[in-house]
Structure 1
Amino acid sequence: MKSIEQQTGWDGPPRLFALVETSELLKVQPELADELGLAAGDGLTAVDQGELPDEDIGALLPGIVWPESVAGCALAMVRITLPPEVEDQIPDEGDAVAWAAAHPLHEELKIVVGVVRDGARHAVLRIRRHEDELLSADDLVPDLAEALAQTLLPDE
């Protein structure tokens, strides 16, 4: 069994969260107020959706549709990046992710992107080698924010 740190830390899988109005959550589950230290005026509460299927996030998100009771959603994940100068060295065959992770110039990024139904978006990014620094902006990861926003559109 994985520890909470393994599930949510640098080596954990991507995590998807429903963002719900705390006041609405407490109407349905009032015991959470004491258990989690929540109050009705606390804005949004993140509800972990459990382990995601083992597939590409880009392929998974288009199949998600949230009910109206969900005010927004957030995704936390770790990604590996390489500088542009080594892009032509990436092998065509084999496990490119493992190759990138083993490359001496790789960077590990922890990314959290959240969106709400009113259109607001925000992202934070942390580089593993610089854990004390946090980058934060509305448009830091625009493609991912847009993919998450699409999950909030009414099902047609």
Structure 2
Amino acid sequence: MTNPAEPADPPAPPSPRTLALRAAVLDLERHVATLGWDGPVVVFALVRTADALGATPSLADELPAEALADAREDPEHLTSIEQDGLPEAATLEELLGQLAWPEQVDGAAVVVERMVVPPEAEQGLPDDPQEALEALMAHPQRQDVRMAAGVLRSGESWCALRSRNNDADDAVAGSPDAVPGLVEALRATLR
């Protein structure tokens, strides 16, 4: 039993793989942020850059010099490949439920925008779905949030969150489990 007066052991530093995933997710979020708000869901495959270059050396001609240099220094460095031609889906859950990745893909990431309101805002909403949506959209505490989440086959995850009200690169928050439902839905695409 530990003495409450004694300081707890500091958390273990993140693994190189977690650091690479965090960097990739933050980079994806910044990339999507340059496109502005009210954008579509964007899905990415994540591959270890060094492995991809080993399998396809001509890829070096398509990657930025900075990514090549980072991959030389860090064997865990990840390259993100935006997915075009996603299947039709009415919801994000339905879309992710239709995705599966080949073994060469080390992970997956998604960037999506959502409206967030405090739980009490959902009390007393009209029964009509359109009227309920309008009420939520007009709520004074409504916030638009961009969520970027990434997972690796090896289990690591990272989430980055940006609020429209605090729309700056240095105001992006992050943690491994900030959006647990999204992390689990992404993990399911890798099974």
Q: Which residue of 2 aligns with 1:90?
A: 125
Post-superposition CA distance 1:33-80 (Å, at most 9, x none): 244323253611010002543420112212211100000000101000
2:157 maps to 1:130: no
Point out 4+ residue stretches in structure 1 off by more than 6 angstroms. Answer: 4-7
Distance 1:67 1:5 in 2: 25
C-alpha RMSD of matched pairs (Å): 2.5
Match of 1:47 among 69, 81, 88: 81
Structure with the higher fraction of residues in helix conformation = 2
2:139 maps to 1:112: no
Structure 1, unaligned runs of 5 or more: none
Secondary structure of the corresponding residue to residue 129 of structure 2: coil
Q: Which residue of 1 aligns with 2:186?
A: 148
The structure number with the bigger radius of gyration is 2
Shift of 1:7: 8.9
Structure 2, unaligned runs of 5 or more: 1-30
Secondary structure of the corresponding residue to residue 114 of structure 1: strand
Distance 1:106 1:25 in 2: 42
Could you tell me whether the CA contact under 8 Å between 2:32 and 2:111 is conserved in 1? Answer: no
Q: Percent identity?
A: 39
- Higher relative contact order, chain-length normalized (CA < 8 Å, sep 6+): 2
Distance 1:129 1:141 in 2: 19
Aligned length: 150
**What are the residue-to-residue correspondences of 1:10-25 with 2, within 5 Å?**
10-25=37-52
Could you tell me whether the CA contact under 8 Å between 1:16 and 1:74 is conserved in 2? Answer: yes
Structure with the higher fraction of residues in strand conformation = 1
